[in-house]
């Protein structure tokens, strides 16, 4: 009883202390008639509005707030005061024109899991050097050479789905595809056993990434930390083998190994491993989630499915007969598929928002963003704003016949940290779609509506589906 009373007193004291600190901060920032904090509510001390956000869903939470307060508002979530930005101009301000006033910010546990030297945790010269290497290795010039290999990965995966005729979890299967394509762009052709070792440990890291951080052995998080160490060792083994065989490859690993900064310094093996694993991490779930949504939207829009199918069949000269490998020119000449992809990325908005932290007090449109506060450009709210995308809930690829207004469409982000993998993501999506549409049919199984967050949005239960090879199917056309 006494312990309970003491605990209650401690809680009250912490509560008062935190309330006092927040009030003090607000007073400091608003005295002398300086810029005011944006409208909004900071909720309870420490917990802020975290409970409200997670008891609805972040997207509903943000949309409700935007309706109430407008395009810039403050809140307090996960222990941090934040300013949310739901206008294209504000997103541009933070991510592009005044990016130097904001730094990337991630929870420490996530940084540790991916690797603290991964480029997206950094700014300045280190980030710029690494970004150049990643961008070069994922440039159109480089990835066009990967087309036949990506096709092989796509076809053998599709064959495996159709082969056993069982219901698959589309999202989980798409993760296998994006993982294998990721490995191809990072390491080129890896020996099968090393690839399996990488995959095995990566799956454990992936499971632990969103679990409760703890040092207790046996927990999902702790297992992930150990698997992450093994991943670094595997990357070191691959590096040693390359050095031994004096291989000079133009994949990302090759670029990282050949790097010298202005003083002739090379990257350490930890820096290389963190960036390899970081890129793989950035590539896998995002692309898999996009592909899963694309299958869902195709399923829901029968006429568009038929039109896309026709586009892919005609791209290879009418269909029938043996299919030749896709050429880069063909992949660039499928306008309907391209618009379908863009509309899917808008509707699904895989990355709903991003985080930065103000490195100094910043004034934006007469509002103060205090130093140390998080800012969150809300991509989803912008993509679903009827002023920029009329009837935003209607799936309509034709809206992309006209280029969207600048800074209103940011599925791959914007500015210095925008996605360097966007060309590869679009290419691998197109290749998988090409083989799916020209050789296979599928049927979504069970309930067909609802969203899950894994943590990216995906259709409910990962979109369970069954696949058939076109020539031998006896299933009705979906
Ligand atoms: C449909 C698939 C994808 C989507 C929607 C997506 C989206 C994004 C977004 C929105 C950002 C910016 C995040 C921010 O500003 O905080 C980003 C960054 C990044 N993405 Fe992607 N991405 C996808 C696929 C890929 C692929 C395939 C790769 C690599 C092979 C990749 C590698 C990266 C990297 C390395 C960064 C960090 C860049 C930096 O900090 O400079 N992404 N991505």
**Predicted local distance difference test score (pLDDT) of residue 7:** 58
Name which of 80-94, 151-165, 353-367, 443-457 the model is least confident about. Answer: 443-457
State yes or no: pLDDT of 418 exceeds 70. Answer: yes
Residue having the nearest C-alpha atom to atom 1 of ligand 1: 287
> What strand order describes the sheet that includes 72-77?
72-77, 80-85, 374-377, 356-358, 102-104
Q: Is 83 left (phi over 0), alpha (psi -120 to 50) or beta?
A: beta
- Atom of ligand 1 at shortest distance to CA of 426? 1
Substitution candidate for ligand 1 out of 297, 415, 419 with most atoms within 8 A of CB: 419
Could you tell me the pLDDT band of residue 48, with boundaries at 50, 70 and 90?
confident
Q: 412 CA to middle of ligand 1, Å?
A: 6
Could you tell me the pLDDT band of residue 31, with boundaries at 50, 70 and 90?
low
Cβ of 119 less than 6 Å from ligand 1: yes
What CA–CA distance (Å, rounded) separates 284 from 280? Answer: 6
> What strand order describes the sheet that includes 464-469?
168-169, 464-469, 440-444
**Is the model more confident about 322 or about 142?**
142
User: Mean of the pLDDT values across residues 9-25?
Assistant: 54
**Predicted local distance difference test score (pLDDT) of residue 367:** 96
Could you tell me the pLDDT band of residue 80, with boundaries at 50, 70 and 90?
confident
**Predicted local distance difference test score (pLDDT) of residue 46:** 67
Cβ of 417 less than 6 Å from ligand 1: yes
414 φ, ψ to 5°?
A: -160, 150
Hey, CA dihedral for 272, 275, 277, 283, is it positive or negative? negative
Residue 357 pairs in a beta bridge with: 103, 374
pTM as predicted: 0.90
State yes or no: pLDDT of 23 exceeds 80. Answer: no
What CA–CA distance (Å, rounded) separates 255 from 133? Answer: 6
Cβ of 427 less than 6 Å from ligand 1: no
Residue having the nearest C-alpha atom to atom 17 of ligand 1: 419
Cβ of 354 less than 6 Å from ligand 1: yes
Could you tell me the pLDDT band of residue 303, with boundaries at 50, 70 and 90?
very high
Could you tell me the pLDDT band of residue 337, with boundaries at 50, 70 and 90?
very high
Cβ of 103 less than 6 Å from ligand 1: no
Could you tell me the pLDDT band of residue 177, with boundaries at 50, 70 and 90?
very high
Residue 466 C-alpha from the chain's centroid: 26
**Predicted local distance difference test score (pLDDT) of residue 54:** 66
What CA–CA distance (Å, rounded) separates 110 from 128? Answer: 22
**Predicted local distance difference test score (pLDDT) of residue 42:** 83
Yes or no: say if 296 and 259 are a contact pair by the CB < 8 Å rule. Answer: no
Q: 279 CA to middle of ligand 1, Å?
A: 8
**Predicted local distance difference test score (pLDDT) of residue 446:** 83
Cβ of 123 less than 6 Å from ligand 1: no
Q: 83 CA to middle of ligand 1, Å?
A: 23
Residue 465 pairs in a beta bridge with: 168, 444
Could you tell me the pLDDT band of residue 226, with boundaries at 50, 70 and 90?
very high
Q: pLDDT by residue (tens digit) across 348-363?
A: 999 999 999 999 999 9
Substitution candidate for ligand 1 out of 282, 340, 342, 413 with most atoms within 8 A of CB: 282
Name which of 19-23, 428-432, 466-470 the model is least confident about. Answer: 19-23
State yes or no: pLDDT of 476 exceeds 50. Answer: no
Percent of the chain scoring above 70 in pLDDT: 87
What CA–CA distance (Å, rounded) separates 298 from 440? Answer: 13
Q: SS3 sequence, the chain?
A: CHHHHHHHHHHHHHHHHHHHHHHHHHHHHHHHHCCECCCECCCECCCECHHHHHHCCHHHHHHHHHHHHCCEEEEEECCEEEEEECCHHHHHHHHHHCHHHEEECCCHHHHHHHCCCCHHHCCHHHHHHHHHHHHHHCCHHHHHHHHHHHHHHHHHHHHHHHHHCCCEEHHHHHHHHHHHHHHHHHHCCCCHHHHHHHHHHHHHHHHHHCCCCCCCCCCHHHHHHHHHHHHHHHHHHHHHHHHHCCCCCCCHHHHHHHCCCCCCCCCCHHHHHHHHHHHHHHHHHHHHHHHHHHHHHHHHCHHHHHHHHHHHHHHCCCCCCCCCCCCHHHHCCCHHHHHHHHHHHHHHCCCCCCCEEECCCEEECCEEECCCCEEEECHHHHHCCCCCCCCCCCCCHHHHHCCCCCCCCCCCCCHHHCCCCHHHHHHHHHHHHHHHHHHEEEEECCCCCCEEECCCEEEHHHCEEEEEEHHHCCCCCC
Could you tell me the pLDDT band of residue 474, with boundaries at 50, 70 and 90?
very low
Name residues whose C-beta falls within 8 Å of residue 266's C-beta, 6 or more positions apart in sequence: 257, 259, 260
Highest mean pLDDT among 16-30, 37-51, 284-298: 284-298
**Is the model more confident about 107 or about 340?**
340
Q: pLDDT by residue (tens digit) across 245-288?
A: 776 677 999 999 999 998 999 999 999 999 999 999 999 999 99
Cβ of 182 less than 6 Å from ligand 1: yes
**Predicted local distance difference test score (pLDDT) of residue 357:** 97
Residue 402 C-alpha from the chain's centroid: 26
Q: Average model confidence (pLDDT) for the chain?
A: 89
**Predicted local distance difference test score (pLDDT) of residue 10:** 56
What CA–CA distance (Å, rounded) separates 202 from 278? Answer: 11
**Predicted local distance difference test score (pLDDT) of residue 30:** 53
Cis check: omega of the bond before 455, within 30 degrees of 0: yes
Could you tell me the pLDDT band of residue 477, with boundaries at 50, 70 and 90?
very low
State yes or no: pLDDT of 316 exceeds 50. Answer: yes
Q: pLDDT by residue (tens digit) across 369-405?
A: 999 999 999 999 999 999 999 999 999 999 999 999 9
**Predicted local distance difference test score (pLDDT) of residue 470:** 85
Cβ of 375 less than 6 Å from ligand 1: no
Substitution candidate for ligand 1 out of 379, 412, 455 with most atoms within 8 A of CB: 412
Cβ of 186 less than 6 Å from ligand 1: no
User: Mean of the pLDDT values across residues 3-29?
Assistant: 55
- Number of C-alpha atoms within 13 angstroms, CB side, residue 6? 3
- Atom of ligand 1 at shortest distance to CA of 425? 27
Q: 139 CA to middle of ligand 1, Å?
A: 14
**Is the model more confident about 451 or about 226?**
226
Cβ of 413 less than 6 Å from ligand 1: yes
What CA–CA distance (Å, rounded) separates 434 from 232? Answer: 35
Structure tokens at 231: 């991943």
Q: Please indicate if the annotation marks 419 as binding a ligand.
A: yes
- Atom of ligand 1 at shortest distance to CA of 355? 16
Strand pairing category for 374-377 and 362-364: unpaired
């Amino acid at each position: 009883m006494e312990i309970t009373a003491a605990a209650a007193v401690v809680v009250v004291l912490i509560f008062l202390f935190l309330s006092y600190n927040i009030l003090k901060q607000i007073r400091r920032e608003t005295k002398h008639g300086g810029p005011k904090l944006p409208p909004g509510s900071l909720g309870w001390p420490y917990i802020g509005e975290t409970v409200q956000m997670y008891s609805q869903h972040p997207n509903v939470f943000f949309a409700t707030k935007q309706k109430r307060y407008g395009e810039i508002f403050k809140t307090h979530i996960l222990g941090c005061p934040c300013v949310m930005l739901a206008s294209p101009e504000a997103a541009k301000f933070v991510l592009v024109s005044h990016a130097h006033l904001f730094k990337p910010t991630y929870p420490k546990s996530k940084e540790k899991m991916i690797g603290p030297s991964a480029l997206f945790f950094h700014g300045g010269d280190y980030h710029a050097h690494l970004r150049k290497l990643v961008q070069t290795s994922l440039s159109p010039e480089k990835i066009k050479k990967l087309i036949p290999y990506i096709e092989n990965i796509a076809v053998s995966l599709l064959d495996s789905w159709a082969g056993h005729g069982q219901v698959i979890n589309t999202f989980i299967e798409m993760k296998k595809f994006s993982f294998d394509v990721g490995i191809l762009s990072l390491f080129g052709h890896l020996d099968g056993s090393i690839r399996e070792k990488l995959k095995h440990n990566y799956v454990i890291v992936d499971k632990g990434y969103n679990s409760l951080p703890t040092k207790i052995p046996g927990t999902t998080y702790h297992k992930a930390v150990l698997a992450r160490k093994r991943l670094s060792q595997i990357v070191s083994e691959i590096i040693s083998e390359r050095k031994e065989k004096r291989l000079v490859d133009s994949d990302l690993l090759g670029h990282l190994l050949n790097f010298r900064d202005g003083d002739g310094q090379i990257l350490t093996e930890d820096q290389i491993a963190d960036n390899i694993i970081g890129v793989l991490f950035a590539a896998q779930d995002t692309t898999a989630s996009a592909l899963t949504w694309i299958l869902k939207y195709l399923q829901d829009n029968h006429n568009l499915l038929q039109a896309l199918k026709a586009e892919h069949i005609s791209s290879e000269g009418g269909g029938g007969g043996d299919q030749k490998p896709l050429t880069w020119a063909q992949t660039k000449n499928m306008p309907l598929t391209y618009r379908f992809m863009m509309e899917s990325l808008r509707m699904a908005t895989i990355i709903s928002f991003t985080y930065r932290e103000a490195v100094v007090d910043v004034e934006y449109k007469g509002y103060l963003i205090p130093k140390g506060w998080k800012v969150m450009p809300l991509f989803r709210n912008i993509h679903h704003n009827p002023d920029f995308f009329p009837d935003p809930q209607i799936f309509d690829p034709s809206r992309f016949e006209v280029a969207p207004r600048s800074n209103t469409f940011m599925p791959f982000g914007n500015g210095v940290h925008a996605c360097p993998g966007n060309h590869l993501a679009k290419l691998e999506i197109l290749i998988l779609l090409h083989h799916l549409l020209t050789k296979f049919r599928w049927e979504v199984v069970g309930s067909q509506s609802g969203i899950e967050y894994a943590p990216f949005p995906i259709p409910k239960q990962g979109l369970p589906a069954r696949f058939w090879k076109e020539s031998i199917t006896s299933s009705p056309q979906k």
